[in-house]
Amino acid sequence: MRIGVMCSGNGTNFENIIKVCNKDEVVIMIHNKKNCGAAERAEKFDVPHCYVNSKDEDTMIEMFQRCRVDLIVLAGYMRIIKNPNAFPAPMINIHPSLLPKYKGLDAVGQALESGDVITGCTVHYVTKELDSGQIIDQSVVPICPDDSIDTLTQRVQNAEYRLLPMVINNMAT
């Protein structure tokens, strides 16, 4: 399966996809921040990458078409995709909450402040509506009484590192 990845930040989920899934599967990574950590990780692993302004979806679509991607993975891509149906392959996203709870930004903080005893992460299909696409799979993370935003974020990220490659591998079969 030929995977295209979209990133905005540090790129830890992107790197994890490269390491856990077959490296040759990741054929391109598009980032919407010029100097993000994900671009450095792409260089490190010799994955073709480029900066594309998040408003320029036509260029993204064209690049993914040229690379003949079978799947597009949003791995820390922090922008809403305006027209996901125009992209040439199914598009999935990893989100740090048990959707439909806590859509959008600061999901871990919202879960921590809510008094919930569990949170987690969700892989879902991308639609026009923020974090509202069909859920593919989820992973539960307990919220401990002594959790801080940092400790809970780290445990949710560890769950993401397990869940996202598992979903990708399941989609490849």
Percent helix / strand / coil, the chain, rounded to 5: 40, 25, 40
We report the CATH number of the domain holding residue 9 as 3.40.50.170
Residue 78 sits in which domain range? 3-95+123-138+157-172
Catalytic, 31? Answer no
The answer to whether residues 51 and 34 touch, using CB atoms and an 8 Å cutoff, is yes
List the structure tokens of 115: 């008094």
User: pLDDT tier at 50 (50, 70, 90 boundaries)?
Assistant: very high
> Does the residue 66 lie in any domain?
yes
Residue whose C-alpha is closest to residue 42's, from 87, 5, 3: 5
pLDDT in tens, 128-164: 999 999 999 999 999 999 999 999 999 999 999 999 9
In a domain, 151, yes or no: no
Within 10 angstroms of residue 53's Cβ, the number of other Cβ atoms is 11
Total structural domains in the chain? 1
Asked if 10 contacts 76 with a C-beta cutoff of 8 angstroms, the reply is yes
| Residue 112 within any structural domain of the chain | no
Summarised one tens digit per residue, pLDDT across range 61-115 is 999 999 999 999 999 999 999 999 999 999 999 999 999 999 999 999 999 999 9
Give the residue among 102, 132, 134, 93 at the shortest CA–CA distance from 120: 102
Does a structural domain hold residue 45?
Answer: yes
Q: Residue 131: beta bridge partners? A: none
Contact in structure between 117 and 143 (CB atoms under 8 Å) = yes
